[in-house]
Amino acid sequence: MTELKETWQNYIDGEWVDGGAGWIDVTDPASGKVLARQALADARDVDHAVQAARQVHLAGEFSGLRPVDRGRMVQAMGRYLLEHVDEISELLTLEQGKPLWEARVEVHGAARYFEYYGNQAETVEGRSIPLGAGYFDFTVHEPFGVSAQIIPWNYPLEVTARSLSAALATGNAVVVKSPELAPLSTAWFARAAEAAGLPTGAVSVICGYGREAGAALAAHPGVNQIVFTGSVATGTSIAKAAANTVVPTILELGGKSAAIVHSDADLDAFVNDVRWGIFYNAGQVCSAMSRVIVHESRHDELVERIAEMAGALSVGPGIDRRDYGPNMGAMISLQQRDRAESMVTEAISAGANLATGGQRPKDHSGAFLRPTVLFDVAPDMKIAQEEIFGPVLSVLRFSDDDTAIDIANGTPYGLVGGVYTRDLDRAMRAAAKLRAGQVFVNEWYAGGVETPFGGYGKSGYGREKGREALMNYVQTKNIAVRLRS
């Protein structure tokens, strides 16, 4: 069983410390029980962490290492997480609600980022630019310095890992602001940094309220780059803060992503994708398949099959769901569950029909919602426009390809999209027209750490993952030399 200390501190400049803003109770959303209390940082704590990171950076203790050595440290952090996968995954399940096997997948996913970006530390190379006789011109890619990273609760480990590993591989020092609803498991990144021998101050991990610690971090003049993953509303306020300090920002925001299912699609494979697309992590995934747009000729059959699959998922405490299988855990909080449930009720009043779900399971009092499938959803209904961030799928129908694309593109978001067909030309036409940072053809979530990820429209800007992300963590300097003969 995982170590469940009563009190969890912040990690600043190599020390575990209390916070100036007191404590927050961290609860298990499956049972409502308080698990532990977490220290909350205030603006002074934030300043302390930023100054420590700044000092490491200016002293070149980390950025000045030979990249291969820095890369090995980054990789060691990932291995450390894997060595502690049992403790970390139990803790994550208890504080976040997901099934234990999903939490294990998340720890492995987090470790994979450190492997991937650790490997790439020594590949960030500049180029030489010919300027004719008498000149030697070249570029170097330098770390920004202090990278501030603000993390959401849905994937606290994977989201932290993807930004932290890329920032460290490129030589930045990092201040992580963990989510106040699920902060405990992120303490393991501080332990991993210590175990891997990173210089003190290169990684600080602090929790705090968004409006207090998060806002102080985003506005801090000592921060050189911000990575924010979370909601559009918070992302907008962070972008405003970053505009004041003229600091580059990566915004990874929400989504309302759609899968287009053509009449020739393989429905067996697709129904399996729906299981992962909208019910994994109880639908609390930014790139969830929250809408299915299906050709009218397959509509009724598909709704029936999805409802059957969704109705068969067992819903209950994640800690009892240790093995990979057809099951789902709690949502993050009663508040999130109630919001999702009321959006379903509202959609039904607006004319949508319920194929399955829509209610809480009778045998559990925690933050549970049964896997829910709505059909007869119109593209302009609130349920088809706003992110729910829960296990709720809306099924819409189309009769011609252009209408399907228009519906898919008809929200302010643009994170991912999918098209299901055996016709490659049709798939490629759709891929070109979908306004999304990533398009899946015949498999939702195809790809991995290696494939760039990020939004169009209100889903944000900048890219995480893949080679593209590395370039978001460095700035280019051109050095032009006039040679004298």
Helix (H, G, I), strand (E, B) or coil at 367: coil
Kindly indicate which of the ranges 28-36, 38-46, 121-129, 248-256 contains the residues binding ligand NAD, using the contact rule CB under 6 A: 248-256
Helix axes 67-83 and 156-169, enclosed angle (nearest 10): 160
Q: Which is nearer to ligand NAD, 5 or 240 (CB)?
A: 240
* CA distance linking residue 243 with residue 221, whole number of Å: 11
What 8-state DSSP symbol labels residue 198? P
Q: Which is nearer to ligand NAD, 75 or 204 (CB)?
A: 204
By CB under 6 A, is residue 10 in contact with ligand NAD? no
* Chosen residue from 78, 230, 391, 417 binding ligand NAD by CB under 6 A: 230
Q: Would you call 322 exposed, middle or buried from its count of C-beta atoms within 10 A (0-12, 13-18, 19+)? A: middle
Kindly indicate which of the ranges 70-78, 250-258, 375-383, 444-452 contains the residues binding ligand NAD, using the contact rule CB under 6 A: 250-258
Residues contacting residue 73 through CB under 8 Å, at least 6 positions apart: 65, 118, 168, 196, 197, 198
User: Residue 141 CB, nearest distance to ligand NAD (Å)?
Assistant: 24
Interacting residues with ligand NAD between 267 and 286 (CB under 6 A): 286
Q: Which is nearer to ligand NAD, 182 or 319 (CB)?
A: 182
By CB under 6 A, is residue 211 in contact with ligand NAD? yes
Q: Which is nearer to ligand NAD, 159 or 430 (CB)?
A: 159
* Chosen residue from 41, 53, 56, 159 binding ligand NAD by CB under 6 A: 159
By CB under 6 A, is residue 387 in contact with ligand NAD? yes
Kindly indicate which of the ranges 102-110, 115-123, 150-158, 316-324 contains the residues binding ligand NAD, using the contact rule CB under 6 A: 150-158
By CB under 6 A, is residue 238 in contact with ligand NAD? yes
Q: Which amino acid is at 347?
A: A
* Chosen residue from 151, 223, 227, 265 binding ligand NAD by CB under 6 A: 151
Nearest position to ligand NAD, beta carbon: 210
Residue given tokens 């987090």 in the structure block:
110
* Chosen residue from 55, 119, 200, 237 binding ligand NAD by CB under 6 A: 237
User: Residue 254 CB, nearest distance to ligand NAD (Å)?
Assistant: 3
By CB under 6 A, is residue 245 in contact with ligand NAD? no
Interacting residues with ligand NAD between 399 and 428 (CB under 6 A): 415
* Chosen residue from 116, 153, 444, 473 binding ligand NAD by CB under 6 A: 153
Q: Which is nearer to ligand NAD, 269 or 446 (CB)?
A: 446
Listed residue (398, 470, 392, 380) closest to 124, CA to CA:
470
User: Residue 184 CB, nearest distance to ligand NAD (Å)?
Assistant: 14
Kindly indicate which of the ranges 145-153, 268-276, 305-313, 378-386 contains the residues binding ligand NAD, using the contact rule CB under 6 A: 145-153
User: Residue 387 CB, nearest distance to ligand NAD (Å)?
Assistant: 5
Report residue 378: phi and psi, to 5°. Answer: -95, 150
User: Residue 413 CB, nearest distance to ligand NAD (Å)?
Assistant: 9
User: Residue 250 CB, nearest distance to ligand NAD (Å)?
Assistant: 10
User: Residue 334 CB, nearest distance to ligand NAD (Å)?
Assistant: 14
Q: Would you call 63 exposed, middle or buried from its count of C-beta atoms within 10 A (0-12, 13-18, 19+)? A: buried
* CA distance linking residue 186 with residue 154, whole number of Å: 12
Structure tokens belonging to residue 50: 């930023």
Rounded to the nearest angstrom, the gap between the alpha carbon of residue 409 and the centroid of all alpha carbons in its chain is: 22
Q: Which is nearer to ligand NAD, 184 or 196 (CB)?
A: 184
* Chosen residue from 12, 39, 49, 150 binding ligand NAD by CB under 6 A: 150
Q: Which residues are catalytic?
A: 252
Which CB contacts under 8 angstroms, 24+ apart, belong to 104-107?
106/155, 106/157, 106/158, 107/81, 107/82, 107/157
* Chosen residue from 210, 316, 390, 417 binding ligand NAD by CB under 6 A: 210
Residue 394 sits at the vertex; the CA angle it makes with 321 and 400, to the nearest 5 degrees, is 135
Q: Which amino acid is at 175?
A: V
- How big is the site for ligand NAD, counted in residues (CB under 6 A)? 29
Kindly indicate which of the ranges 42-50, 113-121, 174-182, 417-425 contains the residues binding ligand NAD, using the contact rule CB under 6 A: 174-182
Residues contacting residue 216 through CB under 8 Å, at least 6 positions apart: 42, 43, 46, 47, 208
Q: Give me the sheet containing 10-12, strands edge to edge.
A: 15-17, 10-12, 203-207, 173-178, 146-150, 225-229, 249-252, 460-461
What DSSP letter does each residue of 264-308 carry, written as one string?
Answer: T--HHHHHHHHHHHHHGGGG--TT-EEEEEEEGGGHHHHHHHHHH
How far, in Å, are 146, 267, 403, 476 from residue 49 at the CA level?
10, 51, 51, 26
* Chosen residue from 45, 252, 273, 341 binding ligand NAD by CB under 6 A: 252
* CA distance linking residue 201 with residue 168, whole number of Å: 12
Binding region for ligand NAD (CB under 6 A): 150-155, 159, 177, 179-180, 210-211, 214-215, 218, 229-231, 234, 237-238, 252-255, 286, 387, 389, 415
